[in-house]
Structure 1
Amino acid sequence: MIVPNTETLQADLLAAISWAAQQGWTPATGGNFSARTEAGYLVTASGRDKTRIQADDLLLCNLDGKVLEGNSKPSAESNLHAALYRLDASINCVLHTHTVASTVLSRRFPEGIELSGFEMQKALQGNVTHDATISLPVVPNSQDMEELAEQVRSGWPMPWGFLVAGHGIYAVGDSIASCRRHLEAIEFLLACVLEESRWS
């Protein structure tokens, strides 16, 4: 897949970040977002209010996580984004959010969250029926990004992304559009699972 030019990527990534923030998925400056470029990847700077995101809140880094353009510090989890881009050449976007459903359910089901019978499963790449049983992977949390990246590598492939226990979702996709679709579908499915848990 050809990577779009940096200007187009920047505009599309800013739109995706703003969209996620409008859903309430980036509380207290939480979350981080990136898109692959020819030189590496664009990623959000640390501590930025995602509801007020602007072009100068994005940094250009190489695939080793070194800042090539921009004067701010990258997100603490920028190195995990870099690790994902190095791990799988088909990943062109990573969107990371913090929501109640993803945080609670990733703690409740540390071995993974099983999904079956939901029509929205078909929004996840490779799924064509609600009848399938699929699992959203959950990896243990760590402040050490290399340790966290190793947890992800050991469980790969994770075609739509994964949850970090007590933390949130990392959605991946081969484009910003597909990554947004995966993120929105996963958030919807997790909200359904959380709602169903109240019945039992």
Structure 2
Amino acid sequence: MTLQDELLEAISWAAAKGWTPATGGNFSVRTDEGYLVTASGVDKTRVSAEDLLRCDLDGRVLAGRGKPSAESDLHAALYRFEPNIGCVLHTHTLASTVLSRRFPEGIRLAGFEMQKALAGNVTHDAAITLPVVPNSQDMAELAAHVQAGWPMPWGFLVQGHGIYAVGESVAACRRHLEAIEFLLACTLEETRWTS
């Protein structure tokens, strides 16, 4: 399976879960010359190879039709300052949007077995924090917020916006995204009990 095929499969998987409402989200994979990324405004439930743009690491489009979303520049920045990132999957989910607004300093997780799905975690006994960065429509400013909080080995949440999962491969990134979303859904349920 090619990187393009893996990326398309990951996009379809996320869309089938309802994590890309109203054409939201953007998805990319690192290539030898830069990265492949979804074009702006594409319905992720019907994405195809023609909906992917080939870009260099400065975010310039090398090939493909359509235009990249503004957030493509954040993907480019992530690939530039962390050479181990091979994939970025960005979704808009209820839990990530609500919790990133409620806990702008980060979301603390402890005692969840699913924490072990996040690279580097070997026990549910550890406490970890999912980083939350302030939102901005200026991608250079948003990238600066992310870089100031690095390292973020699984990704981060953008306040009131959604999840940016990262991984060294498409498979690792998918695992991180699914684990983060599950952990956030659990945390959202817990906050309802204690409210």
- TM-score bracket for the superposition, by shorter chain length: over 0.9
Q: TM-score, normalised by structure 2?
A: 0.99
Correspondence 1:89 to 2:74: no
Q: Which residue in 1 is equivalent to 2:62?
A: 68
Q: 1:136 aligns with which of 116, 130, 135?
A: 130
- How far off is 1:71 after superposition? 2.2
Q: TM-score, normalised by structure 1?
A: 0.96
What does residue range 5-84 of structure 1 map to in structure 2 within 5 Å? 8-84=2-78
2:4–2:36 contact (8 Å) kept in structure 1: yes
Gaps of 5+ in 2: none
Structure 1 range deviating more: 152-161 or 7-16:
7-16
Q: Which residue in 2 is equivalent to 1:196?
A: 190
Letter in 1 for 2:29: A
2:96–2:184 contact (8 Å) kept in structure 1: yes
- How far off is 1:95 after superposition? 0.1
List per-residue Cα deviations over 1:51-71 (Å, max 9, x = no partner): 000000000000000000112
d(CA) in 1 for partners of 2:153 and 2:143?
A: 15
Q: Which residue in 1 is equivalent to 2:103?
A: 109
Q: Which residue in 2 is equivalent to 1:169?
A: 163
Percent identity between matched residues is: 78
4+ residue runs over 2 A deviation: none
d(CA) in 2 for partners of 1:175 and 1:150?
A: 24
List per-residue Cα deviations over 1:144-200 (Å, max 9, x = no partner): 000000000101000000000000000000000000000000000000000011111
**Number of aligned residue pairs:** 194
Letter in 2 for 1:24: G
Gaps of 5+ in 1: 1-6
Q: CA RMSD in A?
A: 0.6
List per-residue Cα deviations over 1:31-82 (Å, max 9, x = no partner): 0000000010000000000000000000000000000011210112000000
Structure 1 range deviating more: 68-77 or 82-91:
68-77
